[in-house]
Each structure stands twice: as structure tokens, then as C-alpha cells.
Structure 1
Amino acid sequence: MATADQVKALIRSHAAGDDYQFYAVALQMAAREARNGHAGYAQDLRELIDAAKGRSAKAVPTPMVAPRGDLASLLSVEYPEQRLSDLSLDKDVLSALRRVLHEQRQRDRLRAAGFAPLRRLLLVGPPGTGKTLTARVLAGELRLPLFTVRLEGLITKFMGETAAKLRLIFDQLAETAGAYLFDEVDALAGARTNSNDVGEIRRVLNSFLQFLEQDASNSVIIATSNLPEHLDRALYRRFDVMLNYPMPSGEIAKQVIRNRLAMFDLGTVCWQQVSSIAKGLSHSEITAAAEQAAKEAILIDQEKVGTKLLVEALQARQVSVISPSE
């Protein structure tokens, strides 16, 4: 059954109109019931939550937009359904993301008082630690289209043309509210002191910095980098928030697995052993291992995922990380 804290959290989030927190607590309750062996009850809860989310989404429809003309080669668009409860991250990162969402939902009140909401985020950390998923979650929570900048279409051997394409993107950003993702922004914002840099590349960076500085739209801008030490220092000043995504701790690894396998019985799992084997793996690698263990359980007609299946799947991922060419 739900704990007293969960019931109070449900009431508080409902009273505040905070849908994402309400659903996050409800999903925690479903996961708790699944862990306690109440698979049927947990499934009923999840179906109720999914149905409620569907009705909520229909109540505030997201206008469908698609890049046209020259923008079609520069931007791809999707309409994510992920929510904050889908993220298993460090508590400080989650707290910062909740703050961004809160300010975005109250942006009219903030602007009326002469303040701008947080809307430019720089996410840094190793590959597979949840940066791109965060962009999808922010778009999903705010019911915005997620536009991903296609760097292969943006960056050309003619740097003047690249700067012109950047202007097209920022014009679109001002005209069509959305979440705009500059994934692996290093290609645009490498340090100007790099020894192999050339004048034209520096001009592209300067253009990018200028467009960021001048942008006053309602869109959310998200840039990610796996190599923050290679970024030009001036880039940091253009963002409202910089979030560091570390490799998952043992507790976060446990959360990742539990979230992905919420509908399985995990009551016999030795989490200390599993967390130890998961050390050094990214969120995406742990997720892939959890999915592999779940599929194996299904194929052998097993309703629970135990320590052995998880350890074997995680060990297989460790081997692929150590010897990617094999």
C-alpha cells in the first residue's frame, strides 16, 4: 500500500496543479506494489496513470509543426512523451530540472514582473548519462515539439554558409516555440584557442555566441557536450544553467533498473552485487542490460528478474565497454 509520505505528496502535487510530480509519485507507488509482489495491482495503477496522462495531453493539444524548405535539412522534430519520472539522475540535477520546469510553467508571471525564466541549459558529461533523454523529458513535460539541430546539415566547408544556416535556425526558434537541442555542441563551440583552428571557424563560433546572446524567444535551448573541456569558455556565460551528468552511482544504477523493470518482481535481487557489477557503466548501458535480463526472463517463462540474470547482462555490457571492437 501507499506510504503516508506518498499520499501527502499526491495531495500536495494535486493542489499545486503539478502534474509531473503527481504522476511521478503515482508511478513510484506502482513500482512499490510491483516490488512487493502485487503485479496485478501495479499493472492497474500504471494503466490508470497512462489513461490520465492521455486525457491530460488531449486537453492541451500540442500543435503539429514540421520544418520546411531549407530548415528541413537543418532540423528534425519529434513530440516526446517522456516525463521527469523517466529520469534516474543525481538529486541535484533533478532539483535543477524541476526548477527549470517550474519557471517555464510560470513564465508569464515572471515576465510580467520583469524577469526571464530559465530556458538555456548546457548539459555536460560522458555519453549515455541521460543528457539527450533530458531534452526529451523537458519537451514532454512542457508539451513542446523537440527540434534537434542536424549538425551534418549545418556545418559545411563554406563557413559563411554555416553562419547563414545558423541564422535560419535562430529565426525559426523565435517564430516557433519549442525545445531546441544542439546535441554535441562541441562542433560549433570548440575553444577559439585550439591550435588547429582557423579564422572562419572562429567566426562561426562568434556568430553562434551572438545569436545566443540576442535570442529573446520563448523557446527552450538545450546544448549537450561529452567534452566540456573543449568548449570555448565564452559559451558558458550564454547559458542560464549548466548541469553536470556524472556516471551513475550504485544507487542511481539501482533506480535505473527498477524504473525499467517496474512490472517485474525484483524482490530477490541482491542490489549490492548488482550495483557493484554496474559500476563504470552509463545509464544507457545499464538500461540495455536491464532490458536484456527482462527478455531472458520472458523467454524462459520466469515472472521475476533475479540477481543472476541481471549480473550476466551487466557483465556482458562491461565486456563490450572494455573491448568495443570484439
Structure 2
Amino acid sequence: MAGLGEHITAMVRSHASGDDASFYSVALQIAAREARQGHHVLADDIKKAVDSSRQSRSATSNLTALPQARGDLAELVEATQPNVRLRELVAPQGIVDQIKQVIAEQRQRKALLDHGFAPAHRLLLEGPPGTGKTMTASVLATELALPMFTIRLDGLLSKFMGETASKLRTVFESVAERRGVYLFDEFDALGADRSGNDVGEARRILNSFLVFLEDASPESIVVAATNHRSILDRALFRRFDAILTYSLPDARQAGTVIRARLGSLLAGTSLAKLNALTDGLSHADLVKAAEGAAKAALMRGEPHVTREDLVAALQARRTASIG
């Protein structure tokens, strides 16, 4: 009964805070618990009640309030409501297909869970800085109409390391109670290999994360993003449902990024034979270069970016980023 008592407590708290998403999430966890115990009629009744209540809510209001983190969680996460569609993400088709699969499984999670299958909900994104990892988390939140909770690793990794495991528990309790996309950015700060001399409390923290991740609720999506896959503990990889590997854009993708940022400002300007200047730049670098070219043109009072503007901006960005 202790587990049920904790669920009821969580429901009361979410109801008191007006967080309908968390309330429904916990109710569905109780339904799953009852189903595992063979109480299928009760489980079905709870699910039907949740579905009916959700439909009633959506009929009376089209506005979805962003659930704000409260209490201890407020010091550990930043809540946002992204608005980035999948079509805005410039990435290799393989990455796009993997993201589509995650979105599809999450949208059909009820059917999967009813048959004993969990939707993909633990993702590791790895690759160079500025290649779309954080943007992918925003895409998932937008396409699934979920809030995004970015974990503040500076708040999580306490100087009193004994507190860190407790803070991790608080985050993963929220994963179970409040449906959303939970982003651990710069994850290598937490998930680095501890097999050498760096042992003791740091190893226990990583072990705690592994346990929490293994048991993470499929109602939410946990996303870990890192620029340094090579330093991650090997035990992490088998805990994730999917590993997405990002890379610097090729010439075609670079042109797509620049066109998307400049839009009509690029009218009449050719992007041909800019490969030598775009090679080695990240998506974020290309966006910054496009913005620099746009500002140069607009400040001259001209309605369009010239090729010279782009060349100068790309060269400046290469100097700043590559050296």
C-alpha cells in the first residue's frame, strides 16, 4: 500500500497546483499497477475516467498552461514550452527518421503499454556542439505538445556530493509524475566514465542515475545530450532506447540552414561554390553567419543579402569557430 499511498499523495499535490497533466499521469500509473495485480476492470475504469476528463477539458479550453516546477524541483529544472517543428530541423534523413519513430511511439504509447511494450523514451544524443541536439529535444516537446524541462546540472551536481543522488531522485520522480521532455544537456558532466581513479561518491552518483534511468516512466521522454561520447561510461549506452549521432552539416545541409534563416533576404543570391567556407561549421555557426550577413545588408539599407555579405560573414565565423 505504500506505493499506492505515494501515488495518491502525488495526485493530491498535482490537483492542488492545477497541474492536470501530472494528475492524469499518476492516475494512469495507478491503473497500470492495478492491471499488473489482475484488477483489470478497475484499471479500465480508471483509464476511461481519465480519457473522459481529458476530452471534457479540451472541449472547454484550448489553452494549455505551462506547468511550473515547484519546491525542490524548481532549483533543478527550467521549464519552457518550445515551438520548433520537425520540419525546421536540418539533419540527415536517418536522424529525422529516428525522431519520427520516437514521436510515433509516444503518440501510440497507450496501445503499446496495453500490450506490455514501452515506447522509446530514453534517448542519447551525441555529436559536435551546435549540430541540433538541444533543438531535437525542443522538436519532441513541440510535436508532442509537452513542456520541456532542462535540468540545471550546476544545481544538480552539489558541492555536497551526497545530496546529488537525492536531487536525481527528485528529477526522476517528476519524470513519473509530470509528463514532459526532460533534457540533461552537457550530460558528460554527469555520465563520464568513473572507472579510473575518480571513484567513491562520483561513481555512486552515476550508479544512481543508471538505476533511475532504467526505471524511468515511459510517460515522459528523458534526453541526454553530449558533445563527448568517448568519455561516457560504457554502462550508459545499453540503458538508452535509441542513440542518435549528429554530425556537422554537409554542403547541401549548409545551404538549407542558410536559406531557412535568411528567407526572402536571400532572393537572387547564389549559394554555389561556398563549400570551402561552410565546411567544418556547425548548424549554429551557419545560423550566426547568416544573421551577420543579414545585419550587414539591412544596416546599409539594402533589402537583400549579397554574396559578398555571405562570404565575409562565413569567413568571420570560420575565424571565430575554427581558427
Query: Structure 2-normalised TM-score?
Result: 0.78
1:59 Cα deviation from its structure 2 partner: 7.5
Paired residue type of 1:296 = A
Counterparts of 2:322 and 2:91, CA distance in 1: 24
1:88 Cα deviation from its structure 2 partner: 0.7
Question: Any conservation in 1 of the 2:125–2:244 contact (CA below 8 Å)?
Answer: yes
Paired residue type of 2:107 = R
Distance 1:322 1:86, change over 3 A: same
Paired residue type of 1:311 = V
Counterparts of 1:166 and 1:209, CA distance in 2: 11
Counterparts of 1:119 and 1:61, CA distance in 2: 26
Paired residue type of 1:252 = Q
Counterparts of 1:311 and 1:194, CA distance in 2: 47
Question: Any conservation in 2 of the 1:266–1:306 contact (CA below 8 Å)?
Answer: no
Counterparts of 1:304 and 1:194, CA distance in 2: 56
Question: If you compute each CA radius of gyration, which structure gives the higher value, 1 or 2?
Answer: 2
1:61 Cα deviation from its structure 2 partner: 3.8
Match of 1:15 in 2: none
Match of 1:25 in 2: none
Query: Structure 1-normalised TM-score?
Result: 0.78
Match of 2:310 in 1: 310
1:105 Cα deviation from its structure 2 partner: 1.4
1:110 Cα deviation from its structure 2 partner: 1.9
* Higher RCO structure, 1 or 2 (CA under 8 Å, sep 6+): 1
- 1:244 corresponds to 2:252: no
Unpaired segments of 5 or more residues in structure 2? 1-57
Q: Counterpart of 1:262 in 2: which secondary structure? A: helix
Distance 1:59 1:318, change over 3 A: farther
Question: Any conservation in 1 of the 2:66–2:80 contact (CA below 8 Å)?
Answer: no
Q: Percent identity?
A: 49
Q: How does 1:1-326 map to 2 (within 5 A)?
A: 61-195=63-197, 197-272=198-273, 274-323=274-323
Counterparts of 2:275 and 2:220, CA distance in 1: 38
1:266 Cα deviation from its structure 2 partner: 3.5
Question: Any conservation in 2 of the 1:265–1:303 contact (CA below 8 Å)?
Answer: no
Question: Any conservation in 1 of the 2:255–2:271 contact (CA below 8 Å)?
Answer: no
**Is 169-178 or 209-218 further displaced after alignment?**
209-218
Counterparts of 1:188 and 1:130, CA distance in 2: 21
Question: Any conservation in 2 of the 1:251–1:275 contact (CA below 8 Å)?
Answer: no
Q: Counterpart of 2:78 in 1: which secondary structure? A: strand
Question: Any conservation in 2 of the 1:293–1:305 contact (CA below 8 Å)?
Answer: yes
Question: Any conservation in 2 of the 1:180–1:221 contact (CA below 8 Å)?
Answer: yes
1:85 Cα deviation from its structure 2 partner: 1.6
Q: Counterpart of 2:222 in 1: which secondary structure? A: strand
1:321 Cα deviation from its structure 2 partner: 1.7
Q: What is the aligned residue count?
A: 265
